[in-house]
Amino acid sequence: MEIKIGSDTFLKGVQKVQGVVENKGAMPILSHLLISAGGDGITLMATDLEIGIRGFYPAKVIKEGAVTLNARKLFDILKELPVKEVRLVKEENDWVTLTCGKSRFRLPGLPAADYPKLPEYSETCLLEFTGSQLRDMIKKTVFAISPDETRQALNGLLLEVEQGKVNLVGTDGHRLALIKRPAGKSNGASADPNGYLLPKKVLSELMKSVGEDDATYKFSVKDNQLAFIQDQEVIISRKVDGKFPNYRQVIPGDCTLQVKVNKEDLAHALKRVALLADEKSKMVRFEIRSGNLILISDNTELGAAREEMAIDYDGDEVTIGLNARYVLDVLSAVEGDQVVLNLKDENHSCLITADSDADYLSIVMPMRL
Residues that bind another protein (CB under 8 A): 171, 173-176, 245-246, 250, 278, 280-281, 283, 296, 298-300, 303-304, 306, 321, 323, 347-349, 363, 365-369
Q: Which is nearer to another protein, 36 or 353 (CB)?
A: 353
Give the integer Cα–Cα distance in Å for 77 and 81.
7
Smallest Cα–Cα separation from 275: which of 304, 239, 233? 304
Give the integer Cα–Cα distance in Å for 69 and 79.
16
Residue 148: CB minimum distance to another protein, A: 11
Residue 169: CB minimum distance to another protein, A: 12
The sign of the torsion formed by the CA atoms of 197, 29, 206, 154 equals positive
Q: Which is nearer to another protein, 24 or 368 (CB)?
A: 368
Residue 191: CB minimum distance to another protein, A: 24
Residue 286: CB minimum distance to another protein, A: 13
Cβ atoms of residues 251 and 360 within 8 Å: no
Cβ atoms of residues 30 and 114 within 8 Å: no
Cβ atoms of residues 355 and 336 within 8 Å: yes
Residue 369: CB minimum distance to another protein, A: 7
Question: Per DSSP, which regions of 77-215 are E strands?
Answer: 85-90, 95-100, 103-108, 127-130, 156-162, 165-171, 175-182, 196-199
Give the integer Cα–Cα distance in Å for 265 and 329.
15
Residue 249: CB minimum distance to another protein, A: 9
Cβ atoms of residues 257 and 278 within 8 Å: no
Q: Which is nearer to another protein, 111 or 173 (CB)?
A: 173
Q: Which is nearer to another protein, 43 or 349 (CB)?
A: 349
Q: Which is nearer to another protein, 41 or 195 (CB)?
A: 195
Residue 281: CB minimum distance to another protein, A: 5
Ramachandran class of 368: left when φ > 0, alpha when ψ lies in -120 to 50, beta otherwise: beta
What single-letter DSSP state applies at residue 365? Answer: P
Cβ atoms of residues 173 and 151 within 8 Å: yes
Residue 279: CB minimum distance to another protein, A: 10
Residue 317: CB minimum distance to another protein, A: 14
Q: Which is nearer to another protein, 78 or 352 (CB)?
A: 352
Q: Which is nearer to another protein, 207 or 251 (CB)?
A: 251
Q: Which is nearer to another protein, 189 or 303 (CB)?
A: 303
Please name the residue ranges forming H helices in 47-145. Answer: 71-80, 131-139
318-323 sheet: strands from edge to edge: 303-310, 292-300, 283-289, 318-323
Q: Which is nearer to another protein, 14 or 350 (CB)?
A: 350
Q: Which is nearer to another protein, 103 or 347 (CB)?
A: 347
Torsions phi, psi of 326, nearest 5? -60, -45
Cβ atoms of residues 214 and 132 within 8 Å: yes
Cβ atoms of residues 68 and 82 within 8 Å: no
Give the integer Cα–Cα distance in Å for 2 and 22.
27
Residue 294: CB minimum distance to another protein, A: 10
Give the integer Cα–Cα distance in Å for 109 and 96.
6
